[in-house]
Structure 1
């Protein structure tokens, strides 16, 4: 069963150009790990204020295990250190994308869907 996920995080005003640039050239190792962790149809949108909105489909059977694999990849860790420095989490107490206790991106509740 496909699980649809939506999340938000805030972008630092000073980092807009750099964030767009690095996402125009995502590292192949990061893209491969996203695919290997059963994530498909992944998009990040920017509202031209501060909010980044991400949405993707998870097609696997064990989301937590796949996210553990994602966190274990050194290239993904390097990517997250870079991009986390451009962002501010809306989740109080979160320390970064590697934080397993408090998510860096805030998950959103789906209230409507139509195909």
Structure 2
């Protein structure tokens, strides 16, 4: 199966207790959220943190689109509840477009292609 990869960045509000709480939520993500992620074609998702910067790696089915995910998320009340909760902890990176929380990153190097 052909897949796609995405890398996105987001910042956390730079407060120790908020970062700690955010990580606690991500150790036990609600089952409804996990289910919704799989339903839109996300095969794997990892989030890494350094300081207050988050990096998300996503591997998706080839036909995945952020537009499709956004539409599905808007129709899912549990996802809306989760996103509202996470909004307390997250903020856009400085280079984000208006209204963008997770900002796509451009690949600038790939060892396989050297």
TM-score normalized with structure 1 length: 0.83
Answer yes or no: is the 8 Å Cα contact 1:9–1:52 preserved in 2. Answer: yes
Shift of 1:111: 2.1
Q: 5+ residue gaps in structure 1?
A: 95-102
Name the structure 2 match of 1:100: none
RMSD: 1.6
Supply the distance in 1 between the matched residues of 2:7 and 2:74 (Cα, whole angstroms).
19
In 2, Cα distance between equivalents of 1:26 and 1:62: 22
Displacement of 1:3 in angstroms is 1.2
| Residue 56 of structure 2: aligned partner | 54
* TM-score normalized with structure 2 length: 0.83
Name the residue aligned to 1:17.
Answer: 20
Deviations 1:14-39 (A, max 9, x none): 21110000001100000000000100
Q: Structure 2: which 5+ runs fail to align?
A: none
Q: Tell me the secondary structure at the aligned position of residue 69 of structure 1.
A: helix
What do the CA deviations read for 1:65-100 (whole angstroms, capped 9, x no partner)? Answer: 233112321111111111111011122532xxxxxx
More deviation in 29-38 or 85-94? 85-94
